[in-house]
Amino acid sequence: MLDELISEIEEIIPDASDGLVNDLFETAHAALPAEIVAQFNCLGLRWDDGVLVVGAPEANWPGINEYAQKANLRISLVDVKENDINEAISLVKSIATSKDNTFDITVTEVGEAPISSLVQQIIERSVLERASDVHFEPYTDDLLVRVRIDGRLRPLVTLPVRLGPAISSRIKVLSDMNIVERRRPQDGQFSTTVGGRLIDIRVASVATIHGEKLVLRLHDARRQAVSLEDLGMSGTQLELFSSMIRATNGLILVSGPTGSGKTTTLHGGIKAVTVPWKNVMTIEDPVEFVVQGITQIPIIDPNNAGFAVQLRAVLRQDPDIILVGETRDSETAIISIQAALTGHLVFSSIHATDSVGAVYRLLQMGIEAHLVASSLRGVIAQRLIRRNCRYCTKSYPVTGAEEKILTLYGMEATTLRKGVGCTLCGGSGFRDRIATYQVLEMTESLSDLIVSHPEPNEFRRYAQATGMTSMDHEAVRLAVEGITTLDEALTLMVSSE
């Protein structure tokens, strides 16, 4: 049985690079000899009309130029951050290794070593590819392994479905789950180190018709909360948000679907207002950023000690600023509002499609309109869109159709930008994501309006007339600035209403 597994693993390993290698840059990273890559920390990114585009930290450029002259190679250089280049070099090496079929799996290994090695290799590859989640999906014949990168799933490797149970067991052992139980959903977690980074992994299993499906959520434990200025808000939005959070009391809400970067925005806000003479307390599920100088409480037992129970406890801890990770129920909403009305600054997230929707969500939870009017300072709604890869973005003249769309948004441009695909973005042209925001400031006139119970659309129209922009409008602005493509920006047209 074990021998069979090993030979199957060896058979599938050459496919491990599926999905990443793309003609455009496949030969680019092979164009520089390994010793030059190692000596100058550089990588061939793509071919541009017979010129090899080479990425490297600027300090190493003279050495690379010298080599290129000697080797009679036409190159152009792009400045790549040290971290980015190191990760990309590891990734390219890892792909090259798997292509040569020299993974460190040997037939002499005994026990579950080949499977655990395979699991570790899949996790390492996923981290190097900047994946946020890894899916192990059993089907009739195949176990499909997919990774989510910048919000989209992509196949990483296809394994024989017979390996499924062994892989599930390995991951379940690591994450302290019951390996005998294969029918009920379970969850667990473990940590591992990839390239010196500690990665926390949350695991969830579910039984499907073809066996257990596992999803691993990867979280870089060293990820830092970003500052307000790095959130990506426009100048006006940043001013509004800054003035909201500098109040000493009131409620500030952030809304958007799961995975839209709400936690990043909330922590950006908290970071900006944390001072040594204030008691900042958070209740989070889970704690995503560990921040020095603030008290962070994880939700461990949601049934007996959920947000509402923890929030009551926090209020007995003499807090100044409170972050309630999520307002899911009316009890939490009511306590948050009471806290906001009694001299505390409260941050929270809420599920709604836009910022006006968030206001109405509070009303639906049974909060009286006059309490919303007197406690709510403002709502930030947000979505994430993919960002042009800064290492291969190129400008191009605006087409007729694009011009029409820009006009629709009251904007104009003669050129726009898009990534052409390189080693650093896996050929997709996109690398990382950026948030697009809608900031609703609860002005006095909007507070007056809400107590008259207007229809949501009436409220929205009034807010727009007094300066609130839409998320797709902001996304188009980012496209005009060359930060994303117009196509990517327009994906929000459908989802923001």
Q: Give the footprint of Zn ion on this chain (CB under 5 A).
A: 389, 391-392, 419, 422, 424-425
**Closer to Zn ion by Cβ: residue 92 or 450:** 92
Question: Residue 67 or 430: which CB sits closer to Zn ion?
Answer: 430
| Residue nearer to Zn ion on the CB measure, 2 or 95 | 95
Q: Rounded to the nearest whole angstrom, what is the least distance from the CB of residue 394 to Zn ion in the complex?
A: 10
- Closer by beta carbon to Zn ion, 359 or else 425: 425
- Measured from the CB atom, is 163 or 392 closer to Zn ion? 392
Amino acid at 406: L
Task: Pick the closest to residue 295 from 323, 326, 325 (CA basis).
Answer: 323
In the bound complex, what is the minimum distance in angstroms from residue 423's beta carbon to Zn ion? Answer: 7
Q: Report, in Å, the least distance between residue 304 CB and Zn ion.
A: 48
Please, which residue, 241 or 391, has the CB nearer to Zn ion? 391
Q: Smaller CB distance to Zn ion: residue 24 or 333?
A: 24
Q: Which residue is nearest to Zn ion (CB)?
A: 389
Beta-bridge mates of residue 160: 142
Q: Least distance from C-beta 40 to Zn ion, angstroms?
A: 20
Q: Minimum Å distance from CB 428 to Zn ion?
A: 7
Residue with tokens 């294969």: 182
Instruction: In whole angstroms, give the CA distance from residue 16 to residue 114.
Output: 15
Please state the closest distance from residue 143 (CB atom) to Zn ion, in A: 30
Check the CA dihedral 124-130-133-135 and report its sign.
Answer: negative
162 CB contacts (<8 Å, ≥6 apart)?
5, 8
Shortest distance, CB of residue 395 to Zn ion, whole angstroms? Answer: 15
Nearest CA to 26 out of 92, 72, 125 is that of 92
Closest CB to Zn ion among residues 166, 389: 389
Specify the residue, 88 or 337, whose C-beta has the smaller distance to Zn ion: 88
Closer by beta carbon to Zn ion, 168 or else 393: 393
Which residue's CB is nearer to Zn ion, number 114 or number 427? 427
Phi, psi of 220 (to 5 degrees): -75, 110
> Any residues with CB less than 8 A from the CB of 45 and at least 6 apart, and which?
25, 28, 29, 53, 54, 55, 78, 391, 392, 422, 423, 424
15 or 48: CB nearest Zn ion? 48
State in angstroms the smallest separation of the CB of 419 from Zn ion: 5
